[in-house]
């Protein structure tokens, strides 16, 4: 997707909100940083579309306390220097943004000191555990007082999968120590939960093998799969996004590596199941919401209305990342509304708005967004990890909507793991 396309999409969203443009003096400036063309665009596109549609829908239906948001969406192609450059523009002068919907781990962690200093709430698509400690008291960093995200951290999601894997090993009648291996690029995003996962794996009785590295982009990963096969690994964590994971799954299927793959939250979805075909069958991965597209829940009515912002026909199938993007936008919306009632829509008040509710589900999204809690001392919104298994039972040449309707691809819920909210796991 080109920058021109993104700007046109942004303009459409602003028009829906009754705005002439992002610089409209009557609007509340909001930044939206997305990856629509970079290394993680395979999942960045549906998540970013969910955020964009939600913000446009909010504007169309009264905005924030009667005032529209002036949203500027920028495709930074997953390049941290571009994100930092754009942030500096958003943080400067009288047009300073009230909040930002962000994206990747490398850029989000790099921007953490800036958003704290500038007091700009930053809602990322990165779920790095480093961002969950607002004060720095846990000792894993300097603190991230203005960073928020919806869903379990990468570390807690991996902990949840390992807790499930330990039980799965027993149910399968496994003998001896199961073998676990971390796989992914040598990059802040896949590396974020590596130490936490390996530490818990050892505690749970796994034999932890040396990590296997593969790039964030698709490629020939036959050597990695041969290494995996020779190692005798039983459980392997795929730390990259779906695009490169698909390459690994196909290569491992070809060489006959029999492994239970554990995908990270961005590592698998319905689009990846279609592309990978039978190679994706059996992958277990976390889903941030309580329901997926097509499920019955009170809040799905609102989700379907939001979807019509970019699909007027109402026929598009929306993958798991799209629905999560809506939740991210709506938590920000309600925090901004609280701020409007308590001194004005500015960063410090929006941050305080994030602490006002317990077991919080945005209005209208009941049964969709997982009840979440943020406090001034703990930004782990939730430690509930909903695990799903990808099930592929035939040829995947048709469109995703048709494949889901026919049952050729399914997302089957296998467990819901409540990861302990241990103080020593804060920020890690």
Fold of the CATH domain 154-292+384-425: Rossmann fold (3.40.50)
- φ/ψ of residue 31, rounded to 5: -95, 145
Name which of 40, 182, 185 is nearest 104 in CA terms: 40
Element (H, E) at 275: helix 270-276
Which positions of the chain have pLDDT values less than 50? 1-25
* pLDDT tens digits, one per residue of 123-169: 999 999 999 999 999 998 889 999 999 999 999 999 999 999 999 99
Residue 243 and residue 218 in contact, taking contact as beta carbons nearer than 8 Å: yes
**How confident is the model at residue 19, as a pLDDT?**
34
Residue ranges, CATH 3.40.50.2300, the chain: 3-153+296-353, 154-292+384-425
φ and ψ at residue 213, rounded to 5 degrees: -95, 135
Please give the CATH topology (third level) of the domain spanning 3-153+296-353.
Answer: Rossmann fold (3.40.50)
Q: What does the pLDDT read at residue 167?
A: 98
359 dihedral zone (left: phi>0; alpha: psi -120 to 50; beta): left
Distance CA 49, CA 73 (A): 10
In 3-state terms, what secondary structure has residue 264?
A: coil
Q: Which of 194, 270, 204 is nearest to 236 (CA)?
A: 194
Residue 24 to residue 21: CA distance in whole angstroms:
6
Question: Of how many residues is the chain composed?
Answer: 428
The string of pLDDT tens digits covering residues 220-254 is 999 999 999 999 999 999 999 999 999 999 999 99
Per-residue pLDDT tens over the stretch 12-57:
343 333 333 333 447 999 999 999 999 999 999 999 999 999 999 9
With beta carbons less than 8 A apart as the criterion, state whether 276 and 250 touch: yes
> Which residues make Cβ contacts (< 8 Å) with residue 117, sequence separation at least 6?
none
All residues at 6 or more sequence positions from 269 whose CB lies less than 8 Å from its CB, including other chains: 43, 46, 242, 319, 320, 321
In sequence order, the β-bridge partners of residue 71 are 30
């Amino acid at each position: 997707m080109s920058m021109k396309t993104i700007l046109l999409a942004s303009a459409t969203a602003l028009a829906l909100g009754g705005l002439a443009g992002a610089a409209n003096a009557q609007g509340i400036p909001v930044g939206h940083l997305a990856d629509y063309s970079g290394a993680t665009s395979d999942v960045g596109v549906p998540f970013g579309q969910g955020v964009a549609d939600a913000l446009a829908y909010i504007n169309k239906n009264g905005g924030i306390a009667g005032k529209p948001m002036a949203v500027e969406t920028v495709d930074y192609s997953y390049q941290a220097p571009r994100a930092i450059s754009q942030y500096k523009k958003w943080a400067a002068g009288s047009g300073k943004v009230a909040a930002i919907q962000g994206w990747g781990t490398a850029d989000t962690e790099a921007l953490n000191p800036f958003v704290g200093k500038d007091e700009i709430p930053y809602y990322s698509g990165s779920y790095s555990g480093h961002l969950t400690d607002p004060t720095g008291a846990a000792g894993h960093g300097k603190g991230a007082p203005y960073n928020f995200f919806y869903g379990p951290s990468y570390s807690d999601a991996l902990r949840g999968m390992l807790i499930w894997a330990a039980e799965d090993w027993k149910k399968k009648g496994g003998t001896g120590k199961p073998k676990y291996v971390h796989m992914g690029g040598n990059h802040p995003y896949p590396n974020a939960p590596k130490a936490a996962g390996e530490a818990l794996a050892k505690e749970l009785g796994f034999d932890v093998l040396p990590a296997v590295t593969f790039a964030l982009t698709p490629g020939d990963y036959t050597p990695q799969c041969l290494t995996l096969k020779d190692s005798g690994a039983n459980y392997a964590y795929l730390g990259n996004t779906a695009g490169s994971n698909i390459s690994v799954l196909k290569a491992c299927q070809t060489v006959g590596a029999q492994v239970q793959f554990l995908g990270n939250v961005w590592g698998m979805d319905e689009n990846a199941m279609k592309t990978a075909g039978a190679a994706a069958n059996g992958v277990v991965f976390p889903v941030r919401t309580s329901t997926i597209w097509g499920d019955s829940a009170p809040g799905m009515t609102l989700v379907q209305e939001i979807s019509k912002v970019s699909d007027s026909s109402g026929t598009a199938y929306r993958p798991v990342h799209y629905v999560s993007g809506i939740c991210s936008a709506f938590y920000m919306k309600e925090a901004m509304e609280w701020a409007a009632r308590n001194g004005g829509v500015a960063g410090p008040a929006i941050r305080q708005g994030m602490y006002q509710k317990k077991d919080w589900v945005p209005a209208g999204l009941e049964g969709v967004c997982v009840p979440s809690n943020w406090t001034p001392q703990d930004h782990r919104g939730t430690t509930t990890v909903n695990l799903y298994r990808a099930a592929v039972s035939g040829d995947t040449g048709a469109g995703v909507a048709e494949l889901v309707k026919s049952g050729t691809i399914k997302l089957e819920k296998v467990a819901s793991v409540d990861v302990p909210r241990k103080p020593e796991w804060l920020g890690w």
